[in-house]
Amino acid sequence: MKQRGEISSTQLVTIILALVGFTVLLLLLWAAFGDFNSLGDREACRLSVLTRATAPTAAQSGIPLQCTTQKICLTNERHEESSYQFAGQH
């Protein structure tokens, strides 16, 4: 006779498999997209540019761009001293 509130082994296995599947799904999403913050920044920048571009000409100056600057250092083997301007920055 089953008591109220008792979890059967089938229900327990189903719950454990669901939790493991959810964890694997989260890990796959994290591996696919990597850094969620920078993805959000890029998407916010893209949307703000699209909003400004599709706005009427008179309203374009009132719509701010929400883009952040990304520093990219290109070095040449002959000019190694130029790479020092970005030292300590990521």
Residues 13, 19: Cα–Cα separation, whole Å: 10
- Whether 45 shows a pLDDT value over 80: the answer reads yes
pTM of the model: 0.40
- Whether 23 shows a pLDDT value over 80: the answer reads yes
CB of 49 within 8 A of CB of 65?
Answer: yes
- Give the pLDDT confidence of 61-75 residue by residue, as tens digits: 888 888 888 776 666
Give Cα separations from 15 to 7, 10, 23, 34 (angstroms): 10, 9, 12, 28
Residues 45, 2: Cα–Cα separation, whole Å: 58
Residue ranges per structural domain of the chain: 9-56+64-86
DSSP label at residue 55: S
Residue 30 is which amino acid? W
